[in-house]
Amino acid sequence: MTDARAFLIVLDSVGIGGAPDADRFFNDGRPDTGANTVGHIAQAQPLNMPHLDRLGLGAAVRLASGLEAPGLGAEPQGLWGAATEVSNGKDTPSGHWEIAGVPVPWDWHYFPETFPSFPPEVTARICELAGTDGILGNCHGSGTAIIEEMGEEHLRTGWPICYTSADSVLQIAAHEEAFGLERLLDLCRDLAPMLHEMRVGRVIARPFLGTAKANFKRTPNRRDFAIAPPSDTILDIATAEGRVTHAIGKIGDIFSHRGITHLHKGKSDADLAEHLIRLGHEAEPGSLTFANFVEFDSNFGHRRDIPGYAAQLEWFDTVAGRFLATLRPGDLAIFTADHGNDPSWTGTDHTRERVPVLGWGRGAQPVGQVAYSDIGASLLEVLELPITTRKGTSFL
């Protein structure tokens, strides 16, 4: 067995524009054509990201979209390229599954932007499981805004707040103390099989705390109940071959906790960063570490916060520098993303974009335009594991 270790780090929503089918995806009726998360942030305020730019971030933006990203002009010294998605979605499961070698073989079910959004049988099932006479919301909504709008009514009635978005998802918000965290998790867990049969990708529990509109705040105890991938991912392949796998952040939820040896969670991306750096020092020979850093997306992309997103990118670049210093000869670390979420764009939803492919451990190596699944195939090659995923060709 090889001593080489593989690290796959997904910067959630850090897209770089240029998706060839962006015209098929929309935000508030506007096609995603021209969306560019990193490029437009850099144009608003030049970015200082020396570590990832040295790997090839600025070059990847230019390759993906032709856009010049101010502040990102380094000559690439790492493996670099841009990846294009084929799955018919711009959501978390689609992106992560395809990176892990399993393009989504079906069309997701999306709830209409109407009131009510959910069919009567879904609403009835939620009420049955929650033990309530009704639900609040039943619409498309922003997670933070809907809690502010309906949190006080939730406390009065005890009814769960149920909402959706442009993603294939049903989210349920409830007060962590008044409704109960375990009760909320049980509700979402028991509802999930019905939604998965409909090809809805995730049921998400969104607990919050507070006593009034002015101080309602979501807690870190979010839990995603995701539909299982339809075939083996790189995590399944690695564990089947006796390798240790580490999942950081919400990777466990995204892959229905399949193929995961050790799960590392935290209350923030700062906590997850410490797990990543620790595993850079400690991860076993031949192991696979798969990480997701969600706050780019959840805290800044959906909220269309350009300065906040820029600051998060620059903060993570310092994390990347600390992590890269822990790696050993033979290791491969790849930084990528699952979709875009351009904070300069119309609406509040994800944007269809290409994503960066930035690698440490193989010297200066331009890989050009690749497929999402090529990333997983390349990690399997480093680990000397069989490429039995449905798609993907190693670019090493």
93 plus 13 within the same structural domain: yes
Taking only the tens place, the pLDDT of each residue in 145-172 is 999 999 999 999 999 999 999 889 999 9
- Known binding residues: 12, 297, 302, 338-339, 350
Q: Which domain holds residue 197?
A: 120-226
- Contact status, residue 246 vs residue 279, Cβ threshold 8 Å: yes
179 plus 209 within the same structural domain: yes
> Residue 349: which region, alpha, beta or left (left: phi > 0; alpha: psi -120 to 50)?
beta
CA distance 118 to 214: 29
**Spatial CB neighbours of 97, under 8 Å, sequence gap ≥ 6:** 87, 103, 104, 229, 233, 254, 255
CATH of residue 148's domain is 3.30.70.1250
Taking only the tens place, the pLDDT of each residue in 80-131 is 999 999 999 999 999 999 999 999 999 999 999 999 999 999 999 999 999 9
Taking only the tens place, the pLDDT of each residue in 227-237 is 999 999 999 99
Q: By 3-state DSSP, what share of the chain in percent is helix, strand and coil, each rounded to 5? A: 35, 20, 45
68 plus 187 within the same structural domain: no
209 plus 144 within the same structural domain: yes
Mean pLDDT calculated for residue range 7-16: 98
CATH of residue 57's domain is 3.40.720.10
270 plus 209 within the same structural domain: no
CA distance 174 to 162: 9
Residue 304's nearest CA partner among 150, 163, 166, 142 is: 142
Taking only the tens place, the pLDDT of each residue in 324-363 is 999 999 999 999 999 999 999 999 999 999 999 999 999 9
Take residue 331 and report the two structure tokens written for it: 């290791």
Residue 279's nearest CA partner among 227, 331, 339 is: 331
352 plus 289 within the same structural domain: yes
The domain total for the chain is: 2
211 plus 80 within the same structural domain: no
- Known binding residues for Mn(2+): 12, 297, 302, 338-339, 350
Bridging pattern class, strands 223-226 and 202-209: antiparallel
235 plus 221 within the same structural domain: no
**Spatial CB neighbours of 167, under 8 Å, sequence gap ≥ 6:** 89, 91, 92, 110, 201, 202, 349, 350
Domain annotation covers residue 195: yes
CA distance 381 to 362: 13
| Chain mean pLDDT for the chain | 96
Domain annotation covers residue 84: yes
Say whether pLDDT at 391 is over 80. no
> Domain boundary residue among 189, 208, 226?
226
Domain annotation covers residue 339: yes
Domain annotation covers residue 392: no
236 plus 376 within the same structural domain: yes
